[in-house]
Structure 1
Amino acid sequence: MTIAILAHDSRKELALQFCTAYSGILSRNTVIATGTTGRMLNQTTGLPVHCYLSGRLGGIQQIAARVACDEVDLVLFFRDPLKADSGSSIEQNLLRLCDMHSVPIATNIATAEVLLRGLDQGDLDYREGMHPAIVEPLAPVTRAVC
């Protein structure tokens, strides 16, 4: 499973504590993250993390694109609901894409815990069949001349 992790600046410490507590489950999956969060997560837990750009520089859009391509199975977005732009169109787009593609998303620690425990128990195994098969382009059709 591919798990995306994002965190507002005021929630990064909470995200790191959470990921440290659940590093056993996270280590059995592929973890991707926005730049700063991913680097901090790797340094704190030692988990391998594929880092995209920092959220402000387009990392949220990069992860949203992976969601849109059905390449992400679970999103943990530690949002600060009191942040002035926490309802930005970029973040709303990520939430919308998760809804469109049936990707479970947690926006707080309680939901994140439920989702990771469910993942550990196999409750999200249905996601395995949701990734599209990579199809090679078809060879051009040649017509016979009669």
Structure 2
Amino acid sequence: MNIALMSHDRKKELMVQFCIAYCGILSKHTICATNTTGRLVSEATGLPVQLFLSHEHGGSQQIGARIAYNEIDMVLFFNDPQSGDLDADLKYITNLCDQYNVPYATNLATAEVLIHGLERGDLDWRDIINPKTKPFTA
């Protein structure tokens, strides 16, 4: 499965800690992320992470395009509700996930439910509904 990682600045450390904790599960999947988040996760875990542009330079739009083409199977976006930075791009990601039935977590609790479901095979329906042609590339 293709998993996209995104996080607000004040939640990047939480994303890194989450990925360290679940590195064993994540290592079985293809990970992509906006630039800063992806670099931090890759450096901390050793996981290969496909890096897109930073959010402010269009990384959210790159991920959004891949959601629209059913190339993303799960989005983990650790939102900082106090940042007031839920801009149009991130709202767009939320709408795309709803439109294409892509599991989407905006906080640690939901991300843990999704990651455990991924490990159990609860999300294998994505492979049936959206067969992969090949993993995404930059």
Displacement of 1:127: 0.5
Deviations 1:116-142 (CA, angstroms, capped at 9, x unpaired)? 0000000000001232565xxxxxxxx
TM-score, normalisation: structure 2 = 0.93
TM-score, normalisation: structure 1 = 0.88
Matched residue SS, 1:82: coil
Displacement of 1:100: 0.2
Output the amino acid matched with 2:40: M
1:81 maps to: 81
1:53 maps to: 53
Inter-partner Cα distance in structure 1 for 2:119 and 2:49:
19
- Cα RMSD of the aligned pairs, angstroms, is 1.0
Which structure 2 residues correspond to residues 93-112 of structure 1 after superposition, within 5 A? 93-112=92-111
1:39 maps to: 39
Contact 2:5 2:75 in 1 (8 A): yes
Contact 1:42 1:49 in 2 (8 A): yes
Output the amino acid matched with 1:116: I
Inter-partner Cα distance in structure 1 for 2:21 and 2:71:
25
2:64 maps to: 64
Contact 1:7 1:15 in 2 (8 A): yes
User: How many residues matched?
Assistant: 133
Output the amino acid matched with 1:92: K
- Which 5+ residue runs of structure 1 have no aligned equivalent? 135-146
Output the amino acid matched with 1:120: E
Contact 1:70 1:101 in 2 (8 A): yes
